């Protein structure tokens, strides 16, 4: 007879696999269910994954504890960050000035996913499942289009932005020098994320563009697409060459009304994008998800000996521990997106004045940077 599961995790992406590995270390029997393919995943191409994530020190510590942190070639340390407004506003961050080893690390998504998958296969406490099975606790990690969340009747409030993210990979004429760059212009946001280690000249881009421009950018020739990118990036890395397919997905902020509860007498909890979505302008989405799994693991580890992993009062501790941070981050990202989407001259002047004021704010700027970096 198969040993009953303590926890069934629905969703085997980065968040789900990380949670499974953390819980397996707690000697819990974990079932890990493959994420179902949604009817409309919001990705324009089925080509190889071109995404890259900016992971902070807390996320790195979690993944290193599982021996799943990629090597330096696939986790590029960011030593500087430059953010440019649309009328002279500018904010700069430096690892040297902040006395930290790196501001963040740009991690190649396929490499990280492969390392986590390999670790899962060699963990005897984890069983890979094709369909959900009964467990004391079900954790839903299926992402923003979660079927289980809908099946369980969990309300998910969505605020759709008038933007779509386009992701791709480029090689650049000039080396990136381990600097991340971001431009805010005309209601759009472009980010260049350095790849391939310290000597690399490749970048991953995330270009949050107005919906009306998406089709033309996705269907433009590689040369025309790069020419438009070169203008948007002010030619900072010289000539650009597209080295991947382009993928796209609509942007939204969203949050679940409840993060824990019960369905048909069995406990459930949400984690990652199934619980919350934020705008990618600060690259905090996966950091929030990995903080969720760390907090849930800590909550279960510290439970009283007589409480089961599905105890509702226990799970409320996890919900309280995470909701405040996620709500604050979501509100901040939403406010910034709204601020930079305003096109009139008064708003433009105000936001660029604000950026320059923040650049000169000293300790305030350092505190904000350290919060984002996970220190």
The closest alpha carbon to 250, from 347, 369, 160, belongs to 160
- Taking 70 as the threshold, does the pLDDT of residue 343 lie above it? no
- Supply the pLDDT for residue 42: 44
Q: How far apart are the first and last CA of the chain?
A: 46
Q: Six-digit token pair at 101? A: 């080893």
- Supply the pLDDT for residue 329: 72
Q: What is the pLDDT of residues 154-209, one digit of tens each?
A: 999 999 989 999 999 999 999 999 999 999 888 888 999 999 999 999 999 999 99
Cite the beta strand spans of 173-331 per DSSP E. Answer: 179-185, 188-195, 202-210, 240-242, 247-256, 260-263, 266-270, 276-277
- Supply the pLDDT for residue 280: 81
Q: What is the pLDDT of residues 6-26, one digit of tens each?
A: 999 999 999 999 999 999 999
Top pLDDT among 324 and 253 is at 253
Mean pLDDT, the chain, whole residue set: 87
For 60, how many CA atoms within 13 A lie in the half-sphere containing its CB? 21
> Kindly report the CA angle at 155 between 150 and 334, in degrees rounded to 5?
115
- Taking 60 as the threshold, does the pLDDT of residue 110 lie above it? yes
- Supply the pLDDT for residue 373: 61
């Amino acid at each position: 007879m198969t040993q009953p599961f303590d926890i069934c995790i629905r969703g085997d992406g980065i968040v789900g696999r990380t949670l499974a590995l953390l819980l397996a270390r707690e000697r819990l029997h974990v079932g890990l269910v493959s994420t179902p393919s949604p009817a409309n995943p919001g990705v324009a191409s089925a080509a190889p994954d071109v995404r890259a994530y900016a992971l902070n020190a807390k996320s790195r510590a979690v993944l290193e504890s599982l021996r799943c942190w990629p090597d330096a070639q696939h986790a590029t340390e960011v030593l500087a960050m430059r953010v440019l407004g649309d009328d002279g506003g500018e904010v700069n961050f430096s690892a040297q000035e902040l006395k930290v080893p790196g501001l963040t690390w740009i991690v190649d998504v396929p490499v990280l996913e492969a390392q986590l998958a390999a670790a899962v296969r060699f963990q005897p406490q984890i069983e890979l499942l094709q369909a959900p099975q009964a467990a004391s606790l079900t954790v839903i990690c299926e992402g923003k289009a979660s079927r289980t969340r809908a099946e369980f009747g969990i309300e998910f409030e969505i605020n759709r932005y008038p933007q779509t993210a386009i992701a791709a990979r480029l090689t650049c004429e000039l080396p990136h020098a381990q600097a991340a760059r971001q431009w805010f212009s005309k209601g759009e946001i472009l980010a260049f994320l350095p790849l391939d280690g310290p000597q690399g000249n490749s970048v991953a881009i995330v270009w949050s563009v107005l919906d009306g421009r998406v089709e033309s950018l996705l269907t433009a020739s590689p040369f025309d697409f790069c020419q438009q990118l070169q203008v948007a990036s002010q030619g900072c890395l010289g000539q650009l060459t597209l080295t991947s397919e382009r993928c796209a997905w609509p942007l939204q902020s969203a949050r679940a009304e409840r993060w824990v509860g019960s369905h048909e007498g069995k406990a459930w909890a949400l984690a990652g994008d199934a619980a919350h979505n934020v705008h990618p302008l600060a690259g905090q989405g996966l950091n929030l998800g990995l903080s969720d799994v760390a907090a849930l693991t800590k909550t279960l580890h510290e439970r009283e000996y007589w409480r089961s992993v599905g105890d509702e009062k226990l799970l409320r501790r996890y919900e309280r521990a995470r909701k405040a941070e996620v709500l604050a981050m979501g509100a901040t990202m939403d406010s910034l997106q709204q601020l930079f989407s305003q096109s009139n001259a008064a708003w433009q002047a105000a936001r660029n004045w604000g950026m320059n004021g923040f650049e000169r704010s000293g300790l305030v700027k350092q505190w904000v940077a350290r919060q984002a970096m996970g220190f």
